[in-house]
Amino acid sequence: MKDFWHKSGTRSVIASLISILIGLGAGSLLILIVGLATPSLGLKSAWEGIRLVFAGVFSTGRDAVGGLTFGFNPSLIGNMLFRAMPLILTGLSVAVAFKTGLFNIGAPGQYLSGTAATLFIALSLPSSEMTLPGIAPTGIPTWGVWVLAFLGGMLAGALWGAIPGLLKSLLNINEVLACIMTNWIAANLVTWAFDVSNLKNMVENTKSGYIYKTTVNGVATSGMGLDQLFPGSQVNGGILIAMVLAVVVYVIFSRTTLGYQLKACGANRYAARYAGIKDKRNIVLSMAISGSLAGAAGALYYLSGNTEFFWSTYQTLPAIGFNGIPVALLAANHPIGVIFTGMFMSMLDIAGQQLTTMTAYNEYITDVIIAVIVYLSAFSMLIKMLIGRRRERKHADASAGGAGKGKEAKA
């Protein structure tokens, strides 16, 4: 049992839990301060807000006397799983790069590249269920279009991720700077590409800033039974695909020669080269794998068939790409841990919506919680180190005490 508490993985989990609890505590304190400082809210409203922060995904409404009720809410839980899907994949994208000693801050651009490639393929290949005016249906099955669109999104993300990897390996340009530049290039290229395309939603006059949903081509990710388990939600089989990809990444890094080589490059690039590992190739490959996962996030999100891409918004970058950073940090870059931290961040997002809907507070309080957690996740290694030092000190004191008793017994 003592060995369990001294393991690096155990300390990583404890450090992440401490970060999460401090973030939730900071949000709860803010709710309490606002509630006590606002006469129209009071302590009762503050208590309701705190409960929603911790269990908003299980809220079911209010009872006859106006009190909050909690229980199994299939709609909210399903939406939580749906929103966790891209977070898991962008978190994996960041984690893969971290394991190779790289910081992939280019996930937003890779996500946009994957989104653009997926939508162009899904909407430009007429399927047997095409409903767009002026385009005749063909014999291409919808599942075939779906597979091509998904793989196209992953490939586009991989190619966009490989660019900073090439610049890093060949010219030793810092990957953070290269990723920032490729992010903005992707944002402007995607905006231009959709601006000149015929994929803008011209059928609904008020939706011309949006791209058609993939359902106009009959292309949508299968519910795989989840839509029956969580009725009224957006969830589909994409969350299962994201989990499978997380397991695949885990197997690659823990059971294959490729994973060993990637981790060796991350530990010490020059020592890996001395051992015969092709460090330049592995740097490019690591960023390509990272990019493919971010591209898969965009592909699955918009292949769901119930989401619309607002092409004209990318004077700013999609937050989903940056949110993968705290997801990876909280999981200590462990691929399986990313599944749970992605769901946790998604749960906070749902809690923010419930705060806005059911109380006088707004969802920005959960943004504060996420910000605190993000800030502390950057110090998770420090927290982990402090935990390790404290346990080592206790172990040393216990050993010294045992040695002292042994000397007394001999005397």
Nearest CA among 36, 29, 71 for reference residue 50: 29
Q: Report yes or no on 259 lying in a domain.
A: yes
Q: What is the span of the domain harbouring residue 261?
A: 74-344
Contact between 273 and 279 under an 8 Å Cβ cutoff? The reply is yes
User: Quick one: tokens of 170?
Assistant: 């060949």
Query: Which residue positions in the chain have pLDDT lower than 70?
Result: 1-9, 128-139, 204-206, 312-315, 377-411
Q: Report yes or no on 407 lying in a domain.
A: no
Sequential DSSP letters for 115-130: HHHHHHHHHHS-BTT-
| Model pLDDT, residue 277 | 87
| Model pLDDT, residue 401 | 60
Rounded CA Rg of the chain? 24
Whether 215 and 317 share a structural domain: yes
| Model pLDDT, residue 244 | 96
Nearest CA among 309, 317, 338 for reference residue 326: 338
Contact between 209 and 312 under an 8 Å Cβ cutoff? The reply is yes
What's the start-to-end Cα distance of the chain, in Å?
Answer: 33
Task: Quote the number of domains for the chain.
Answer: 2
User: Quick one: tokens of 387?
Assistant: 């935990």
The span from the CA of 162 to the CA of 249, in Å, is 18
Whether 182 and 137 share a structural domain: yes
Whether 294 and 268 share a structural domain: yes
The span from the CA of 344 to the CA of 57, in Å, is 10
Whether 10 and 103 share a structural domain: no
Whether 59 and 107 share a structural domain: no
Q: Report yes or no on 355 lying in a domain.
A: no
Whether 15 and 80 share a structural domain: no
The span from the CA of 293 to the CA of 313, in Å, is 23
3-state secondary structure (DSSP) of residue 208: coil
Whether 85 and 112 share a structural domain: yes
Whether 114 and 214 share a structural domain: yes
3-state secondary structure (DSSP) of residue 103: coil
Q: Where are the beta strands (DSSP E) in 203-254?
A: none
Whether 237 and 309 share a structural domain: yes
pLDDT digits over 53-94, tens only? 888 899 988 888 888 888 899 999 999 999 999 999 999 999
| Model pLDDT, residue 296 | 96
The span from the CA of 261 to the CA of 258, in Å, is 5
DSSP 45: H
H or E stretch including 185? helix 175-195
Whether 280 and 373 share a structural domain: no
Whether 154 and 205 share a structural domain: yes
Contact between 338 and 92 under an 8 Å Cβ cutoff? The reply is yes
Contact between 320 and 297 under an 8 Å Cβ cutoff? The reply is yes
**Where a domain ends, among 313, 344, 375?**
344
Whether 11 and 109 share a structural domain: no
Q: Report yes or no on 280 lying in a domain.
A: yes
Compute the C-alpha angle 193/199/204, nearest 5°: 135
Q: Report yes or no on 401 lying in a domain.
A: no
